[in-house]
Amino acid sequence: MEPDISVSIGKLRLKNPVLCASGCFGYGQEYAELVDLSMLGGIILKGITLKERQGNPMPRIIETPAGMLNSVGLQNMGLSRFLREKLPLLSNIPTAVIANICGETPEEYAAIAKELSDKAGISALEINISCPNVSHGGMSFGQDMMLTFEVVNLVRKQTSLPLIVKLSPNVTDIASIAKAAVDGGADALSLINTLLGMAMDIKTKKPYLANITGGLSGPAVKPVALRMVWEVCKAVSVPVIGQGGIMSWEDSLEFLLVGATAVCIGTANFVNPKAGMEIAQGIKDYMKQHKIIDLRKIRMM
């Protein structure tokens, strides 16, 4: 019997548990020549803000051991240009498309959510309260229980779309933030966003990144991500999308074992654009080989 690898994130049904992460997969089209998008469980779009954002100064990326730091700073065209230029292309993408939204105030999040709620081509929203590279909003919301609740609750009132809240690892107690997001009305949680980090150039005695600090991603962060996903899965009953340094189907299984419902692929896309496809296939092959019919049966002993 063919294993069923479809999963539910609230009302959203994904054909498989492998998503491509916001900021790592553009608007889908960038990878369309290299990747069979229909083999992905879904795509999470580059973060959208109300107004256009220029982003941070360059250099914005530097490779670090088994990882990379980025300080892109949410460069994006803003909501109105997104609606004109990108939204019409989304209906052609043969998998679920999730919009990632970010604001400087709770009201901005709500305004974007309202505007995107009735748009064909968008299946769910991911609320980004965890971007470490912006001076207003972003991670500052995700580091405070009350603000997390406030943002999620305000967005919840504006949309009936499935609502995913993306959490920051740059907190003392991620379970309490996770609970606040669920209390605010989150249908699912995704974690982790990047870990705040830094790298110095000893020749110039300056930081490599113009923004000085950036978000660390890649295989280096996986143990931290896994621990946090495990903590959150114990604390809440909504589906959790695990991410942070996943490079292979084996890495994905670790997240599923600690309780994640789905996984999200970020930096791995840069290394191998076919990573998402290959991971989805790898999970399916594993289930066949071990005669597992239901993905939910993959659980920690």
Residues engaged in binding another protein (CB under 8 A): 23-26, 30-31, 33-34, 46, 54-55, 58-63, 65-68, 70, 72, 75, 218-220, 247, 267, 269-274
Minimum gap (Å) between residue 55 Cβ and another protein: 6
User: With respect to another protein, which residue has the nearer C-beta, 10 or 26?
Assistant: 26
- Closer residue to another protein, CB minimum distance, 102 or 161: 102
How far apart (Å, rounded) are the C-alpha atoms in residues 186 and 179?
9
Q: What are phi and psi of 138, to 5 degrees?
A: 60, -125
Q: How far is the CB of 151 from another protein (least distance, A)?
A: 24
d(CA 21, CA 263): 9
CB 245 within 8 A of CB 275: no
Residue among 20, 131, 233, 264 flagged as catalytic: 131
- Bridging pattern class, strands 7-9 and 12-14: antiparallel
Nearer Cβ to another protein (70/243): 70
CB 221 within 8 A of CB 255: no
Instruction: Please give the Cα distance from 191 to 196 (Å, whole number).
Output: 14
Closest approach of Cβ 22 to another protein, in Å?
11
59 versus 185: smaller Cβ distance to another protein:
59
Under 8 Å between Cβ of 197 and 216 = yes
Report the nearest approach of another protein to the CB of residue 37 (Å).
Answer: 13
Contact 222, 260 (CB under 8 A): no
Structural contact between residues 132 and 214, judged by C-beta atoms closer than 8 angstroms: yes
The DSSP element (H or E) to which 195 belongs, if any, is strand 195-198
Block residue for tokens 């049904």? 13
Structure tokens, 210: 């113009």
Determine the Cα angle at 128 with ends 156 and 246, to 5°: 125
Whether residue 102 lies in the annotated active site: no
Give, for 240, the enclosing helix (H) or strand (E): strand 240-243
CB nearer to another protein: give 11 or 51: 51
Nearer to another protein, 154 or 264 (CB): 264
Cα 239 to its chain centre, rounded Å, is: 14
Q: Cβ of residue 194: shortest distance to another protein, in angstroms?
A: 12
C-alpha 182/C-alpha 205 separation (Å) is 44
Q: How far is the CB of 11 from another protein (least distance, A)?
A: 28
Residues tagged active-site:
131
